[in-house]
Amino acid sequence: MYAYIRNFKIVLALATSVAWNPVSASEIESLTTPGGLPFLHIQDDQYENVVLQVNWPYNWSFDTALNPKVPMLSARAVLNGPPEGVEDNVVGQRLRDMQTQSTLIATSESVTGALVTPAGNFEEIARLVNSVLATPAFDPDLANDERRNLLDQSSQLRQGTDAAVGELARNLIMHDHPVRTYFSSSAEIESLIETATLDELKRFYFETVTRSNATIVLASPFASGRAGILLDELFDGLPQGEAIESDESVIDFPDGITVVLHDPDAERSNLTLAGILPPVSQGGEFEDLIALAVLGQGATSELYETLRPELGDSYEFTANALALSSEFRILQISGVVDTDKLEFARQAIRQKYEEFRGNGLSSSIDGIKRRSSAAMRINTENPRILVPLVMENVLNGFPAAKALELPDEIDAISREGINARMLDVFPPVEDLLTVIVTSDPDLVPGACVVETPEEYRACL
């Protein structure tokens, strides 16, 4: 279970985030290496770099008997550590010398590795990366360094009003879900980071990073046969592993409750409204993103126009889709307001949201479609972005080729289709969860008031 925010500002930003020579990919091949590894290959002679992404699913975080902080620590220890028998930093320095970027990141439901390197270096890079993947050293001192880094990060995430409202909202939304502790940055959860053992880190890694569960997407200038041979070198020595079954856990969303976190030191109030959305795998994601952009993104949005007469130009409430995992998406409207304007903002946002959901979009969406489609078309010409797009589509159950069709998919969206979808899948206002952090707990009638995010169960 991961968490990321999707909106069209991010889609547009991707197109200008990395320098590259644009190449229009025409085909995504589904192939198998000589060693039996399935992979998806985007081949073009003009690609100057090799871009590789691999995803390994796991169910570790869904087992309440296991430490949910182990996956993050394990991935960090492997990424930043040497292979067995090699001095620390030798491989890492060689990767940097060869202009190679690599990551290994654990979310709550999978580990994703990524690699970008000049094509001429890939043969040597494949051998170097294989030495780390197949025989990681799991150096105790380095593991402790990563433990301290994660503790520092957890401490920083607890600072400020935004952190408090996020922690409380996650607790309320995922209250009985087994991965709630994965996302938590509370002080009580830090003991899980401190007590994670080296044996647990090793067990997680060798159970997860296997051949049988790898989804591999590669963009390269190599012929398919050559690409397969190099991938076999990169993944040589990994255990075969056992098939991972999808977890069937569901989120029991707390419809319609209002919870206030009393923070006597809060200078202003933080207001968040949230509701459940269908998963991306059911389709309609871009319709949702356009609707949310019109509702609450930027100075021309419906929420901005509604709140500006009373709050002025300095306040903005933003509407986004927040993915807690591949199966759970949240509609989120959030912002900060002066405490004496809190109740006005809450009522005005609720009224505007319900009107927007019921009446639909009244103005043309041609402009946002045109900009978004053009940005997505640029994204599909950049292998550094196309490879993750292909991976995301495949993991959501779509054909790999759908990634190349996203610009046309955006072009085909209609205002009428968005309006019908909002009525169908956007939650009614009475089902929205409201989470507030404020110095005045009496401002919202009928709210459940807590003093810390950990007291959330009193409101369920």
The pLDDT tens digits for 232-252 are: 999 999 999 988 877 767 788
Say which range, 3-12, 92-101, 111-120, 314-323, has the weakest mean pLDDT. Answer: 3-12
| Model pLDDT, residue 325 | 80
| Model pLDDT, residue 2 | 35
Q: How far is CA 145 from CA 148, 186, 193, in A?
A: 5, 20, 12
What's the pLDDT tens digit per position in 196-230?
999 999 999 999 999 999 999 999 999 999 999 99
What's the CATH fold of domain 258-365+413-459? Cytochrome Bc1 Complex; Chain A, domain 1 (3.30.830)
Sheet holding 258-262, edge to edge: 4-6, 318-323, 329-337, 269-277, 433-438, 258-262, 448-450
Any residues with CB less than 8 A from the CB of 423 and at least 6 apart, and which?
A: 357, 358, 360
Question: Global pTM?
Answer: 0.90
| Model pLDDT, residue 6 | 46
Give residue 417's region: left, alpha or beta (phi > 0; psi -120 to 50): alpha
| Model pLDDT, residue 177 | 83
What's the pLDDT tens digit per position in 261-319?
999 999 999 999 999 999 999 999 999 999 999 999 988 899 999 999 999 877 779 99
Tell whether the model's pLDDT for residue 14 goes beyond 80: no
What's the pLDDT tens digit per position in 43-54?
999 999 999 999
Tell whether the model's pLDDT for residue 360 goes beyond 50: yes
What's the pLDDT tens digit per position in 138-195?
999 999 999 999 988 888 777 767 788 888 999 999 888 888 888 877 777 788 999 9
Query: Around Cβ 359, how many Cβ atoms within 10 Å?
Result: 11
Token pair 């401190």 is found at 194
Cα–Cα dist 322/99, whole Å: 33
Beta bridge partners of 55: 112, 215
Q: Does this chain's domain 26-234 share its CATH topology with 258-365+413-459? A: yes
Tokens of 430: 């009475």
Pick 276 or 323 by higher pLDDT.
276
Cα–Cα dist 95/92, whole Å: 5
What's the pLDDT tens digit per position in 362-398?
889 999 999 999 999 998 999 999 999 999 999 999 9
For residue 457, count CB atoms less than 10 angstroms from its CB and return exposed for 0-12, middle for 13-18, buried for 19 or more: exposed
Pick 411 or 26 by higher pLDDT.
411
Burial 297-321 (b: 16+ CB within 10 A, else e): beeebbbbebbeeebeeebbbbbbb
The percent of residues in the chain predicted with pLDDT above 70, rounded, is: 94
Cα–Cα dist 81/141, whole Å: 10
Q: How far is CA 327 from CA 18, 108, 278, in A?
A: 29, 12, 8
Say which range, 146-155, 253-262, 343-352, has the weakest mean pLDDT. Answer: 146-155
Tell whether the model's pLDDT for residue 11 goes beyond 80: no
422 within 8 A of 357, measured Cβ to Cβ: yes
What is the 8-class DSSP label of residue 343?
H
- Of 50, 66, 192, which is closest to residue 126 (Cα–Cα)? 50
Domains of the chain, by residue range, sit at 26-234, 258-365+413-459
| Model pLDDT, residue 26 | 66
Cα–Cα dist 102/113, whole Å: 7
Q: What is the mean pLDDT of the chain?
A: 90
Q: Specify the CATH number of the domain 26-234.
A: 3.30.830.10
What's the pLDDT tens digit per position in 104-122?
999 989 999 999 999 999 9
Phi, psi dihedrals of residue 349, rounded to the nearest 5°: -65, -45
